[in-house]
Structures are given as C-alpha cells and as structure tokens.
Amino acid sequence: MPPLKFHPSCCAFQIALLAILACCNGWSRPIAAKSVRYADTEHTQGTLTEIKDANSVALLIIRSSVLDASGSDEPLVAEALAAEPRESIRHRYPYRVISRKLNDYMRKYRSMRPVYEIGQADFIIYFKLVEYRRLLNGYYPYGELFIIVTPRPEERRPARVIWRTKKVRFAEDAVKDFVKELKRVRQER
C-alpha cells in the first residue's frame, strides 16, 4: 500500500492551522493586558512627599477575604476611614511585626507619633492581610500595604491612596519598603 500523502489544500489542515492561530492569539491578549494593568499601579495619585511633614499616623490591619480587582481605590479608602484602629490589635502577629519596625523608626528619628483615632491622623498605614504563609516552621503574614492621606477640609485635600507596595508581600518586607522610601523622602539617614 502506498504511503498517504498530505495535501496543503486539504480542508482539515486549514481548519487545524486556523484553530492553532486562534488559540495562540487568544492567549496572548490577557497576558499583555495584565502586564499593562500592574505596571501603572505601583504608586498611585501622589508620592510620599505629601506626608513629608506629617507626624501623626494610624495603623490599620484588616483581614479581608474579598479582593477588589477593579483597580479603584475608593472602596479601600472608605473602608480605612470607617475602621477603628484599636481593632487592628486583633491580628496580633502582623500588628506586632509592623509596629516593631515603625517603633524603631519613631525612636530613632522622632518624626512620627501614633494616634488611635482616624480623625487625628495625618495619614493611615493600612495593611490588607490576605493570608498567613507557613515557611520553615513559622507563620508569616502576607498582604498589601497602602498609605492613605486623611481628608483635610481646610486644605481641600481628599482622602486617597498615595503609595502602595508593588505587589502582595510579607508584612515585614512591605513595611521595610515604606520606611526606606519615607527616609529617602524626608532625607533621614
């Protein structure tokens, strides 16, 4: 029996080629859209220079099982302004990790002081706790850190997110990034 010869003009070959091209083209679009979305959300609507002279800070740690994928910061700001800072102690481990780093900074430079009411704070350090990861027999809080300026009617300044971590990180790494950036802005060594 002679071997079968495949002709490019065959309808099955054209359909298979078209299906492969359609699948490859369809998979590349969402990847490109995601990379563009994450590229522009590293620092939003401002910089830490807005809090260069601010000294009162409120620490909020909130565990949320819902992640907002819309890219809008309004629900986050509303949640932060409505929260009670004293309830953050409920999440002891991330609170201890973040407050230890901030207390070290406060002791060394004496340029910040903690407040326990949102209305008294110049800005809010908001840690959105996503999960606890277990690595090498230890648990590590994992989430995203946001810096939110509080509204000031006399300055006509709305509440908004001015800084965030580039990605979801361990709490200690996230607060290290913030303190490092704050030192750079305030020109502290």
What is the domain partition of the chain in residue ranges? 8-40, 48-186
Please report, to the nearest 10 degrees, the dihedral formed by the alpha carbons of residues 14, 18, 20, 22 taken in order: 180
H-state helical runs in 40-157: 74-82, 92-109
From the CB of residue 125, how many other CB atoms can be counted at a distance below 10 Å?
26
H-state helical runs in the chain: 11-39, 74-82, 92-109, 171-186
Evaluated on CA atoms 150, 156, 160, 166, the torsion sign reads: negative
**Tens digit of each residue's pLDDT (9 = 90 or more) over 30-74:** 333 232 233 333 444 568 999 988 999 999 999 976 666 777 889
- Antiparallel, parallel or unpaired: β 56-63 and 113-114: parallel
**Tens digit of each residue's pLDDT (9 = 90 or more) over 64-108:** 766 667 778 898 999 999 999 888 889 999 999 999 999 999 999
Residue 119 near residue 113, CB atoms below 8 Å:
no
pLDDT computed for residue 70 by the predictor: 78
Map residue 131 onto helix, strand or coil: strand
pLDDT computed for residue 73 by the predictor: 87
pTM of the model: 0.73
CATH 3.40.50 for domain 48-186:
yes
64: nearest Cα among 168, 186, 180: 168
